[in-house]
Amino acid sequence: MTAVARIYRWELAKLLAQKRTYLGLGAAAIVPVIFVVVLLLQTGGPNDVPLGRYIRDTGLAVPFVVLFFMSIWGFPLITALVAGDIVAAEHHNGTLKTILTRSRERGEVFAGKVLAAATYTMIIVFAMGLVGVVAGSIAWGFHPLTSLSGTKVSAGHGLALLLASLAIYTLPLAGIAAFGLLLSTVTQNSAASVVGALMWALLMQLLGVLPGTESFRPYLLGTQFEAWHGFLRVPADWAPVVRAVWVCALYILLPLSAAYLVFLRRDVAGE
């Protein structure tokens, strides 16, 4: 095993030993369940959101609708909870100096942390998707899905579209994680980093709805949470997907590069 792989494994082990990981994962998993339960108890529904009208047609529609609602602050918060903590907590507990005085280079330690934060981000999105499909299917069955173009797609195909959508949805979330990691590295303060990353996400959303922002709206991080709509059109509209990939790459790589440079040179001293 390479050095980074070993560090990555321990970073995951550390996440698995911490309450906030389960808090985030639990929140991501419980939201679709709450959604389904509320919709079972109520008539009417989220008719003005993508696929909202079809939510009682098939369990497959549930995660898509939840994706919309959780993009505003739910997922950003859950993501920031871990990404904002991953360096700052080690600084706060003094364990950073413990692991930096072994044989691993700082860059390797940083890479392990980035991979762990990315893994967590991916897992919360897919956990929500899985729980959403299962809970929705229990309530309304696993039936064909109505696409955004109004055509029916088979349940199997719909599931594949869901997986692709979850994957592309992970990208802007990773952008928030990267920003949280940067704050975590720079401020060395967990709470400030979590709140800061959430504020960043909200700012991106806010800019997206203000008048006068139309010209750069396609390049805002918040807009990329809608990139999955492209998969749900027949035929598929690749433009938002492709844009999400490169726009998110910038939102991920710029803060990560900055965080990397800071982490490499930073004085690791007491508080």
Note the residues at the interface with other proteins (CB under 8 A).
3, 6-7, 9-10, 13-14, 17-18, 93-95, 97-106, 265, 267-270
| Six-digit token string for 193 | 């980093």
Find the shortest distance in angstroms from Cβ 268 to other proteins: 4
Question: Quick one: 53 or 92, whose CB is closer to other proteins?
Answer: 92
Question: Quick one: 66 or 87, whose CB is closer to other proteins?
Answer: 87
The dihedral region occupied by 141, where left means phi > 0, alpha psi between -120 and 50, and beta the remainder, is left
CB 224 within 8 A of CB 71: no
Find the shortest distance in angstroms from Cβ 80 to other proteins: 21
Find the shortest distance in angstroms from Cβ 29 to other proteins: 22
Question: Quick one: 96 or 232, whose CB is closer to other proteins?
Answer: 96
Find the shortest distance in angstroms from Cβ 113 to other proteins: 13
Question: Quick one: 94 or 141, whose CB is closer to other proteins?
Answer: 94
CB 220 within 8 A of CB 204: yes
